A and B are shown apart, each in its own frame.
Chain A
């Protein structure tokens, strides 16, 4: 069974600085999807970024980018020019491409605090 591990329960960063959140996963599959979700205090789950495993190019969305290392099964999220609004819990998630109906598997999350 696939698993997702986020080894940093909490992280902190200063405004305008860069922070990297770690995520590793375990799978025997070659095709899959990886995601980062943001959950601010409002509780709403917001999709931040998505990566398809067959694409070697790292996904980017404005200030958010990933470092996808397929062989190492690592999928870290880099937030550049951090803003106060980035303070939230961040979840890494995995989804197989091979089986219809299977759901996202989530890590336990990393709480990011941003200070001014």
Chain B
């Protein structure tokens, strides 16, 4: 089915480890986003991209990196994982600026121990 695919769905990391959360969309959307969701806090924007080769920081970018080499893929890299990065991560994409809403992936639950 068309949409946004995130992998993995669950992951446990040890403090100091690194990992990449994968995100791919097949809708030819130019805009892609990474959010994190913490209990009682809603969704906070980590990074976003308006097209291949263009990325920008959101509200909570510290401890994360992104790249956008293709229209389809927007991986999120966690370097030196910390317990504060325990969260649910959502990737989303939109046509143009998102005036018609986003299509979300199913999320990745990450636990750092």
Chain A interface residues toward B at CB < 8 A: 4, 9, 33, 35, 37, 42-45, 47, 50, 52, 91, 95, 97, 99-104, 106-109
The distance in angstroms between the C-alpha atoms of A97 and B110, with both chains bound, is 33
Do A101 and B42 have beta carbons less than 8 Å apart? no
Contact partners of B97 in chain A: CB under 8 A: 95, 97, 99-102
Q: Judging by beta carbons under 8 Å apart, are B98 and A104 in contact?
A: yes
Q: Is the interface of A mostly helix, strand, loop or mixed?
A: loop
Q: Of B41, B58, B104, which one neighbours A108 at CB under 8 angstroms?
A: B41
The reply to whether A43 and B107 contact each other, CB–CB distance below 8 Å, is: yes
Interchain CB contact under 8 A, B43 and A106: yes
Given contacts A97-B97, A103-B58, 19 further A-B contacts (CB under 8 A): A4-B42, A33-B98, A37-B101, A43-B106, A43-B109, A44-B107, A45-B90, A50-B101, A91-B42, A99-B97, A100-B97, A101-B31, A103-B45, A104-B33, A104-B102, A106-B35, A106-B44, A108-B41, A108-B42
State in angstroms the CA–CA spacing of A109 and B99 once bound together. 20
Say which residue of A37, A104, A106, A108 sits within 8 Å of B40 (CB atoms).
A108
- Residue of A50, A101, A109 with most partner-chain B CB within 10 A: A101
What are the residues of chain A within 8 A of B109 when measuring CB–CB?
A: 43
Provide the residues of chain B in CB contact with A50, threshold 8 Å: 100-101
B43 and A101: CB pair below 8 A? no
Nearest A residue (CB) for B47: A103
Complex A-B: 16 CB contacts under 8 Å: A9-B40, A43-B88, A43-B106, A43-B107, A44-B104, A45-B90, A45-B92, A45-B102, A50-B100, A95-B97, A95-B98, A102-B97, A103-B48, A103-B58, A106-B42, A106-B43
The chain B residue sitting closest to A39, CB to CB, is B37
Q: In the complex, what's the smallest C-beta–C-beta distance from A5 to chain B, in angstroms?
A: 10
Minimum CB distance partner of B96 in chain A: A100
- In the assembled complex, the CB of B98 is this many whole angstroms from the nearest CB of chain A, namely 6
